[in-house]
Amino acid sequence: MASVKFLLRNKKATKSVTIYYAVNLAAKSRIRGATKLKIHPRYWDDRNQKVRNMSDVSNIKDNINKKLSDFKSFILKKITEYNSYENAEIELQLKKDINIYFGKKTIEKKLTLYTFSRQFIDQSKNRIIDSTGRTLSIRTINEYERTIDLLKDFEKKYNYSISFESINMDFYGLFIEYLEGLDFSLNTIGKFIKQLKVFMNAATEENLNTNLSFQSKRFIKPSAKSTQVYLNEVELKKIIDIDYSDNPTHNNARDLFIIGAYTGLRVSDFNGLTKNNIHESNGKRFFRVIVKKTGKYLPIPIHPIVENILEKNDGNPPKRMPEQHINLALKKIAAKAKLNEEITITKTKGGKEITETKKKHQLISNHTSRRSFCTNAYFAGMPTLDIMAISGHTSEKVFLNYIRITEDERALKISENSFFKVK
């Protein structure tokens, strides 16, 4: 709770000294300063933070105490007005209010792209996302920080002054060239352009920026279709059938992956399920999950293959593992399952198109389980809207792009429609 206190810095002084104020907003958020009032230490009541009721100061006591009381009321009223602000914003605004209260002239410092972005990042750490009611992820905050670091490095190496006004198409071309020189992939470059546009949009909304070059159709976030694989049910069975009784780590990683492949959950959700997530309704068993990314409630029927995993763990889901450890284990597991199909990968890196061939087991990761669920459910005839309810996709177009089925695979599925059957 916010508080306002008054104090003397030198209680042993032999003459009148300034009365200081201390506004405490939070544990690490304080404002200190001097009032224009003075009093001799012998007449100051430190406990009650006011001038003592003594005859020697009867002519000034009430006047000073009233001014202190008025200042305290002023501050507390302002804090109430700023109730919806972040602490950093309250502190900034209060300093301006106090300067005005004591008649000081304030010189407004114009925020630069860097100072605004720094302020934006600091405030983002406690910003609530309207759609989820949750704060931004640490990963997003780190991406903001990385973008600013790259801008500063670019400014130094290219001798190009960074400001709101200089973010134009000339900058865009040079910055893309700079990022390509660092051997970033096209999708990673697109991520940095996206974060820069976040800063520019926020500054524009606050009337700090009037340069709208970043909104040009040419100032795009570059992207390339990444190579993501899925495992069909035959391939999943090869993984399921491996005997890992002598390797508990790989056994646990494999079981977590299979649960993901038959629930469609993200690794952040299937890696950490407990018995408390298991519920029964009308003779059917379900996982009931609050999705970490969105905060939404999601019930998912438990597949018989998943039931087998639960049964061998005495009714418990597999133990939680560090995500990186699961990824490392999965590549070895997939290699042992002989998932050796050759996949051709074409990507843009460092401004150059690179084509390479890798075996499928080299491309398996935690996320492969979710993509496998969506694709296999689609081929099994599960209604697209039902799959999307689990996957979280909001448009069928995006969903169909996500599952990455080939034109031949789509034609094969269409051929199974009754329209193509002999009547």
What pLDDT does 129 receive? 66
Bridge partner residues of 129 (DSSP): 134
pLDDT at position 406 over 80: no
The gap from C-alpha 10 to its chain's centroid, in whole angstroms, comes to: 47
**Span 145-167, mean pLDDT?**
94
CATH superfamily of the 113-215 domain? Tyrosine recombinase, N-terminal domain (1.10.150.130)
User: Are the C-beta atoms of residues 175 and 148 closer than 8 Å to each other?
Assistant: no
Q: How far apart are CA 190 and CA 347, in angstroms?
A: 13
Cα–Cα distance measured from residue 306 to residue 318, given in angstroms and rounded to the nearest whole number: 10
Which pLDDT tens digit goes with each residue over 194-253? Answer: 999 999 999 999 889 999 999 999 999 887 666 678 999 999 999 999 999 999 999 999
pLDDT in tens, 46-86: 999 999 999 988 999 999 999 999 999 999 998 888 887 77
Mind listing the pLDDT tens digit for each residue in 91-124?
Answer: 888 888 898 888 876 555 678 999 999 988 988 8
The DSSP bridge partners found for residue 23 are 4, 31
pLDDT tier at 88, thresholds 50, 70, 90: confident
Q: Which two structure tokens, joined as six digits, stand for 130?
A: 């309207």
Q: What percent of the chain has pLDDT over 90?
A: 59
Task: Provide the pLDDT for residue 399.
Answer: 83
Residue 122 near residue 116, CB atoms below 8 Å = no
% residues pLDDT > 70 (the chain): 93
Architecture of domain 233-420: Orthogonal Bundle (1.10)
User: What is the Cα–Cα distance from 302 to 379, expressed in whole angstroms?
Assistant: 19
* Mean pLDDT, residues 164-168 taken together: 95
Q: What is the pLDDT of residue 345?
A: 76
Rounded CA-CA distance 136/131 in Å is 11
Residue 25: pLDDT band by 50, 70, 90 thresholds?
confident
Q: Is 43 exposed, middle or buried (0-12, 13-18, 19+ CB in 10 A)?
A: middle
| Averaged pLDDT score across all residues of the chain | 88
Q: What tens digit of pLDDT does each residue of 321-349 get? A: 999 999 999 999 999 999 999 988 776 66
Domain boundaries along the sequence of the chain: 3-101, 113-215, 233-420
Query: What type of residue sits at position 303?
Result: H
Backbone angles phi, psi at 203, to 5 degrees: -65, -35
Residue 128 has pLDDT above 80, yes or no: no
pLDDT of residue 240: 97
Using H for helix, E for strand and C for coil, what is the string for the chain?
Answer: CCEEEEEECCCCCCCCEEEEEEEEEECCEEEEEEEEEEECHHHEECCCCEECCCHHHCCCHHHHHHHHHHHHHHHHHHHHHCCCCCHHHHHHHHHHHHHHHCCCCCCCCCCCHHHHHHHHHHHHCCCEECCCCEECCHHHHHHHHHHHHHHHHHHHHHCCCCCCCCCCHHHHHHHHHHHHHCCCEHHHHHHHHHHHHHHHHHHHHCCCCCCCHHHCCCCCCCCCCCCCCCCCHHHHHHHHCCCCCCCHHHHHHHHHHHHHHCCCCCHHHHCCCCHHHEEEECCEEEEEEECCCCCCEEEEECCHHHHHHHHHCCCCCCCCCCHHHHHHHHHHHHHHCCCCCEEEEEEEECCEEEEEEEEHHHHCCHHHHHHHHHHHHHHCCCCHHHHHHHHCCCCHHHHHHHHCCCHHHHHHHHHCCHHHCCC
What is the bridge-based pairing of β-strands 284-290 and 128-129? unpaired
Cβ atoms of 347 and 353 within 8 Å: the answer is: yes
Residue 345: beta bridge partners?
356
Q: What is the phi-psi region of residue 350: left when phi exceeds 0, alpha when psi lies from -120 to 50, beta otherwise?
A: left
Task: Say yes or no to pLDDT of 365 above 60.
Answer: yes
Residue 391 has pLDDT above 90, yes or no: no
Q: Please report, to the nearest 10 degrees, the dihedral formed by the alpha carbons of residues 220, 266, 369, 407 taken in order.
A: -40
Distance CA 47, CA 71 (A): 18
pLDDT tens by residue, 256-297: 999 999 999 999 999 999 999 999 999 999 999 998 887 889
Model confidence, pTM: 0.58
